[in-house]
Amino acid sequence: MSVDAEVNENDLAEMVEQVWMSYLDPEGVSPLIPTYDENQPSEVHSSVSITGSWTGHVVYASSTAAARRAAAAFLALETDEVSQDDLADVLGELANIVGGNVKAMLPPGALLSLPQVVLAPDSAARYPNAERISGVYGVWDGEPVSVSMWQSRSDNKEEEDA
Amino acid sequence: MKILIADDSRVMRQIVVRTLRQAGFGDHDLIEAADGRQAFDMAKAESPDLIISDWNMPEMTGVEVLRQLRATGDDVRFGFVTSECTPEMQQQAEAAGALFFIVKPFTAERFDEVFAPILG
Asked if B105's CB is within 8 angstroms of A23's CB, the reply is: yes
What pLDDT digit, counting tens, does each position of B15-55 carry?
Answer: 999 999 999 998 999 999 999 999 999 999 999 999 999 99
Q: Any chain B CB within 8 A of the CB of A105?
A: no
Here the CATH number for the domain that contains residue A125 is 3.40.1550.10
Is A31 inside any structural domain?
no
Count of C-beta atoms within a 10 Å radius of residue A95: 27
Return the HEC string of chain B. CEEEEECCCHHHHHHHHHHHHHCCCCCCEEEEECCHHHHHHHHHHHCCCEEEECCCCCCCCHHHHHHHHHHCCCCCEEEEEECCCCHHHHHHHHHHCCCCEEECCCCHHHHHHHHHHHHC
* pLDDT of amino acid A162: 43
Q: Which domains does chain B have, with CATH numbers?
A: 2-115 (3.40.50.2300)
- Least reliable range by pLDDT among A5-14, A45-54, A73-82, A96-105: A5-14
Selecting from B18, B85, B105 the residue whose C-beta is nearest the C-beta of A18 gives B105
Asked if B107's CB is within 8 angstroms of A26's CB, the reply is: yes
pLDDT, averaged across chain B:
94
Domain count, chain A: 1
Is A90 inside any structural domain?
yes
Chain-centroid distance, C-alpha B21: 15
The residue-averaged pLDDT of B53-68 equals 94
CA B99, B27, A18, A69 torsion: positive or negative? Answer: negative
Residues 6+ apart with CB under 8 A from A158: none
Higher pLDDT, A4 or A92: A92
CA A150, B87, B69, B18 torsion: positive or negative? Answer: positive
What pLDDT digit, counting tens, does each position of A41-58 carry?
Answer: 999 999 999 999 999 999
* pLDDT of amino acid A4: 58
Q: Any chain B CB within 8 A of the CB of A144?
A: no
How many angstroms separate the CA atoms of B73 and B53, rounded?
19
What pLDDT digit, counting tens, does each position of A90-146 carry?
Answer: 999 999 999 999 998 898 888 888 899 998 887 776 677 889 999 999 999 999 999
Please give the ipTM for the structure prediction.
Answer: 0.78
The residue range of the domain holding A48 is 9-16+41-161
* pLDDT of amino acid B59: 92
Phi/psi-derived region of residue B5, left when phi > 0, alpha when psi is between -120 and 50, beta in every other case: beta
Res. A155: pLDDT tops 60: no
